[in-house]
A and B are shown apart, each in its own frame.
Chain A
């Protein structure tokens, strides 16, 4: 069987302070509109700086709202964090150079980053 290696992304890929996209802001708005119509949901989840909302802030609101809408979500296999707990990760003083994932992943002349298993 052919095995194709898929590299990790660099630590710098994670930025929970990135401004929330138009998509996330609309998702938050829609949930804000829906939640008050849910029987038994008496109050909105604590929201939401609007214009300057970060991805983490949007995610926190969305998690709270989704818990209200779907409290019975069935747990499955644990999600594997891509990077690991950020609070334990020492932050470099300078921004690290992005790793050249593609060059390691495959020959630049062919897309098949493959090897045969033995």
Chain B
């Protein structure tokens, strides 16, 4: 076993909101051509037939209002450009058309192609270049937030492709329940009471003990009492806290992307500043789905889930058999045991890779999983160094 894996005691997952790989990390291709991002030639056509290039023109806030549609039918248009034929192939040419459909504003629709210049995202860009960035980490479903987050918690969405409330079945337990059943420790940290948790409100009702708040996460990191497995949720709204205004840091459009950068840095720093924790923790930063924003990589086929969604749920007139992935999202694995500048290519990951990896590492053989999770790639082999790195940066929050 590599020494990094031998030392590993904690896995932390931070899942942000609604940004595509190209939008956040595509500009890094200019710094490392192994990163499968933007080359300057990727484009969509707008509704006047004009080419719209993917360019580094994204701003922190104010551009993606209204929130780009990312429900199943809209994402289908974004990926397949309106082709509904039996043998269609994903072209990634329908993003501008999809955004145009919301306001019929040609100028606004072009902004869906904008990406961030790496200099505007010093946290995400540096983490990607310092540790391991995944070229092929996809959302689990070509659809919205909740069904995708379900794959991170359960390895399946139990047949859901939308935002409706649902209840997990007894056969497939959440990652947190699996851990606790084995006598291990696990917590889902939401930001505060006013932001709360997404998706798993049924768990919040039934098992509040598996939940904590972000202040508790910070305390657990400082005290060295972090659970074996932790999942961190950002702040989903602008609201007043006890001491003042708290800006949403989930990066969901049209929230300020810079505040999300600060939140990612804060999570990283909390681990980095405790030497014992830093040595023994792997942190995965990823996004639930692309939020309707352009990415150029066609989502691949995948192992079908045991569920399917009816046409009235997909909104496309066709059922969905969970046999292909959603749009690509940023994903970065952070540990001092990962070689600097690791680019993970040639392997396909999705959110079911999270419970697959955590279960394999902490529990081992475990059969009560979805077919998707059973076939999902795991990622801890990336902790391959024999000597721990001492050059990892620290973020200073102004």
* Structural contact, B239 and A73, CB atoms closer than 8 A: no
A29 interface neighbour in B121, B165, B214, Cβ under 8 Å: B165
Say yes or no: is A63 at the interface (Cβ < 8 Å to chain B).
yes
Distance between B60 CB and nearest chain A CB, rounded to angstroms: 7
Given A2-B391, A31-B201, A82-B245: A101 and B196 within 8 A (CB)? no
**In the complex, what residue of chain B is closest to A101 when comparing beta carbons?**
B258
A-B contact pairs, 20 of them (CB 8 A): A6-B123, A6-B395, A9-B247, A9-B256, A9-B258, A23-B144, A34-B165, A37-B205, A60-B194, A69-B201, A76-B218, A81-B241, A83-B244, A83-B247, A98-B61, A102-B120, A105-B119, A106-B119, A106-B120, A111-B28
Interface size on B, residues (CB 8 A): 80
Q: Is A47 an interface residue (CB 8 A)?
A: no
Report if A78 contacts B (CB, 8 A): yes
Known contacts A69-B208, A85-B244; decide if A5 and B398 are in contact (CB<8 Å): yes
Q: Interface with A: B86-94, B104-112, B259-267, which one?
A: B259-267
Q: Mark A17-38, 1 if CB is under 8 A from B, else 0.
A: 0101111101101110110011
**Does A51 touch B at the CB level, under 8 Å?**
no
- Could you tell me if A55 and B238 are in contact, using CB atoms closer than 8 angstroms? yes
Q: A15 to chain B: which residues have CB within 8 Å? A: 238
> A110 near B208 (CB under 8 angstroms)?
no
| B243 and A79 form a contact (CB under 8 A) | yes
Query: Any chain A CB within 8 A of the CB of B53?
Result: no
- Shortest A106–chain B CB gap in Å is 4
Q: Which of B208-228 contact A (CB under 8 A)?
A: 208-209, 211-220, 222
13 further A-B contacts with Cβ under 8 Å, apart from A5-B398, A72-B208, A76-B213, are: A4-B396, A5-B122, A13-B256, A21-B252, A22-B163, A24-B236, A24-B237, A27-B236, A62-B193, A70-B211, A78-B243, A85-B244, A101-B258
Contact string against B for A residues 96-107, beta-carbon threshold 8 Å, 1 for contact and 0 otherwise: 001001100111
Question: Quick check: is B125 within 8 A (CB to CB) of the other chain?
Answer: yes
B204 in contact with A23 (CB, 8 Å): no
Nearest CB in chain B: distance from A73 CB, A: 5
In the complex, A40 Cα to B16 Cα: how many Å? 34
What is the interface of chain A, defined by CB distance below 8 A to chain B? 1-10, 13-16, 18, 20-24, 26-27, 29-31, 33-34, 37-38, 55-56, 58-60, 62-63, 65-67, 69-86, 98, 101-102, 105-114
Q: Which A residues are in CB contact (< 8 Å) with B396? A: 3-6
A18 partner residues in chain B, CB cutoff 8 A = 238, 254
CB of B306 within 8 Å of the partner chain? no
Evaluate whether A74 and B216 lie within 8 angstroms (CB atoms) in the complex, with A24-B237, A102-B117, A108-B117 already known: yes
Interface residues of B (CB under 8 A from A): 17, 27-28, 31, 59-62, 67, 117-123, 125-126, 129, 144-146, 163-165, 190, 192-198, 201-202, 204-205, 208-209, 211-220, 222, 236-248, 252, 254-256, 258-259, 261-262, 265, 391-398
Nearest CB on A from B282, distance (A): 20
Task: Report how far A20 CA is from B255 CA in the complex, Å.
Answer: 11
C-alpha gap A5/B197 in the complex (Å): 30
